[in-house]
Amino acid sequence: MKTAVIGASGYAGGELLRLLAVHPHFQVTAISAHSNAGELITTVHPHLTTHTGEKFSAVSEIDFSEIELVFIALPHGESASLIAKIPNTVKIVDLGADYRLEDAGQWEKYYGGTHAGSWVYGLPELSAAQRSAIAQASKIANPGCYATSIALGVAPAIDVIDVSDIVVVAASGTTGAGRSAKINLIASEVMGSLTSYKFGGVHQHTPEIEQALDSISKKEVKISFTPILAPMPRGILSTITAKLTKPINSQAAHDLFVKHYLSEYFVDVLPMGQLPKTGSVTGSNKVQIQVAVDEHTQRIVVSVAIDNLGKGAASQAIQNANIITGFHEGSGLSTDGLGA
């Protein structure tokens, strides 16, 4: 399938190009980057030697009548204006936030500007109904990175916890903040230091997580979410706790998660005693999960690791594209991380 990647100069865009270079069904024939149009791809992504000699194009140069599949990896607020230029017959996976939220009020509160609408939410492991909805769609809103790790960490426990009081602390690598130059993200500021940001429950993924979990719990979910900037390029480690509404122990909780994800291709519930590591999932579409019960407080504790550029962005986008085009979910995707 002839494929376009729009916003290819960013970290997620670069990861899309790396993964698509070995995809058996998607042939990248158009690569655009607005501010880098005309530049060699390898000047921005030196590791992408499969694109040696190729240049980024402007979006206006793409003939969408020749394209069957589009990946959009643009900052929030920029996808919606582009969609009107793409024929309705073209399948699209949007890695941005523009079409994730169903509630216009939540969009205005957390993002600002005009709400573009909503597409099918691309988190297939959330439920069988969600995977079915993705398979029947042609336009997919790819989930946010934090939202992916947190929703998948909560979903199996939804019937045994108080969903009105879920507390999350999650650390992310610096690529999660995008490629734009910012003083607080340069190596001298980040290395050897941890800091919280968007403190006090104002992170834009909060309504997205609540919306995803509302859909499977049929109750109003409330998340208290504190993100942390970690001194590493990529990876997310989320720690989730919630009050139990049923008396279960760690073994029972672990069994619950194992059963929930038993048939999932990309989710590994680790053996008891083994904890998720961000390095173990780097470069892959994998999710690692561990769960225990803090019997002192009767709270469930869940640890989740993903690659924010993989399952949190590019590889999940390809997984969704595989589903909407009828290919195997794992086509072109690695199940093994790079490790240490």
Catalytic residue among 145, 209, 223, 237: 145
Determine the 3-state secondary structure of 105 from DSSP: helix
333 in a structural domain = no
Same domain for 300 and 153:
yes
Same domain for 321 and 235:
no
335 in a structural domain = no
pLDDT cut 70: percent of the chain above it: 99
Same domain for 233 and 104:
no
pLDDT of 242 > 70? The answer is yes
Same domain for 281 and 189:
yes
Same domain for 185 and 129:
no
Same domain for 246 and 204:
yes
- Owning domain of residue 232: 146-306
Same domain for 195 and 131:
no
Contact 236, 147 (CB under 8 A): no
For residues 337 and 340, what is the distance between their CA atoms, to the nearest angstrom?
Answer: 9
Nearest to 170 by CA among 185, 152, 149, 191: 149
Same domain for 214 and 77:
no
Joined tokens for residue 85:
């230029």
- Tell me, yes or no, if 41 is annotated catalytic: no
Same domain for 275 and 161:
yes
Query: What is the model's pTM?
Result: 0.95
pLDDT tens digit sequence for 86-103? 999 999 999 999 999 999
**What is the total count of domains within the chain?**
2
16 in a structural domain = yes
pLDDT cut 90: percent of the chain above it: 83
Beta strands of the chain (E only): which ranges?
Answer: 2-6, 27-32, 69-72, 91-94, 120-121, 139-141, 161-172, 195-196, 223-229, 236-244, 267-269, 287-294, 299-306
Same domain for 32 and 130:
yes
pLDDT of 336 > 90? The answer is no
At 299 the pLDDT is: 98
41 in a structural domain = yes
CATH number for the domain harbouring residue 65: 3.40.50.720
pLDDT of 304 > 90? The answer is yes
337 in a structural domain = no
Same domain for 220 and 101:
no
For residues 254 and 272, what is the distance between their CA atoms, to the nearest angstrom?
Answer: 7
For residues 243 and 238, what is the distance between their CA atoms, to the nearest angstrom?
Answer: 17
For residues 263 and 149, what is the distance between their CA atoms, to the nearest angstrom?
Answer: 18
Mean pLDDT over each residue of the chain, to the nearest integer = 94
Joined tokens for residue 131:
């995977």
339 in a structural domain = no
Average pLDDT in the 240-262 region? 97
336 in a structural domain = no
CATH number for the domain harbouring residue 246: 3.30.360.10
pLDDT of 179 > 70? The answer is no
With bands split at pLDDT 50, 70 and 90, how would you rate the model's confidence at 337?
confident
Nearest to 45 by CA among 21, 27, 22: 21
Least confident of 15-24, 284-293, 330-339: 330-339
Average pLDDT in the 193-218 region? 91
Same domain for 258 and 170:
yes
Measured between alpha carbons, how far is residue 70 from residues 3, 30, 64, 271, 313 in Å?
6, 9, 9, 38, 15
Average pLDDT in the 207-231 region? 94
pLDDT tens digit sequence for 130-170? 999 999 999 999 999 999 999 999 999 999 999 999 999 99
334 in a structural domain = no
